[in-house]
Amino acid sequence: MLPSYFVIIGAVIGSIGALWYLVDTIRGTVKPNRVSFLLWSIAPLIAFTAEVQKGVGIQSLMTFSVGFLPLLIFLASFVNKKAEWKITRFDLTCGALSLLALILWLITKEGNIAILLSIAADGLAAVPTIVKAYHHPETEVGWIWLAAAINGLLTLLTVTDWTLAHYGFPLYILLVDLTIYAPIQFELKKRIGRIRAIV
């Protein structure tokens, strides 16, 4: 296991990527999905609260950072009209399901359930961005998602108490950000199209 200060290094790496994305949003060079980013701010901040209640400690810094910075990006998406991504019925459906998961947490108010439901809510909020990354990779910047995945990985590598409260959100962040990164970086839609054309 890595020393706990690697959580801070991971948070800094993830924050650099998120702040870069924030600047690109203001410039209009990326088009964040507002449904995803709004819910990406709510769900992690709820999970952060649950982690603090469960005594997670420094690892909860990662969860806070992956909630607070998307909130700034969501707000920045209103600054430049070029940064606006058209919201579809599919986006709203994922958003509604995500909100349902958060409401269920409010009803239960149990720490581990809060973390699981926050992961579910965050994952449902990620679906529109995953779809957008696959179909329109030009609207995203790949390395920023890789930086967020590194944040999750470094936090995960500092865990010594392998309970859901300690590893749940970092593991999820690692996986979801790699899922968004891959279709952007490797233009998977084009590659799959070429393979289909050959076959």
Global pTM?
0.85
11 within 8 A of 30, measured Cβ to Cβ: no
- Confidence (pLDDT) at 28: 87
pLDDT along the chain (199 residues), means of 10: 92 94 91 85 83 88 92 90 75 79 76 82 87 90 94 95 91 96 88 76
- Confidence (pLDDT) at 84: 67
Model confidence over 19-51: pLDDT tens digits? 999 999 999 888 888 888 888 888 788 788 888
Model confidence over 112-135: pLDDT tens digits? 887 888 788 888 888 888 998 999
Q: Could you tell me the CA-to-CA distances from 189 to 110, 132, 135, 186, 194 in Å, in that order?
A: 41, 11, 7, 9, 9
Q: Which of 10, 1, 7, 20 is nearest to 141 (CA)?
A: 20
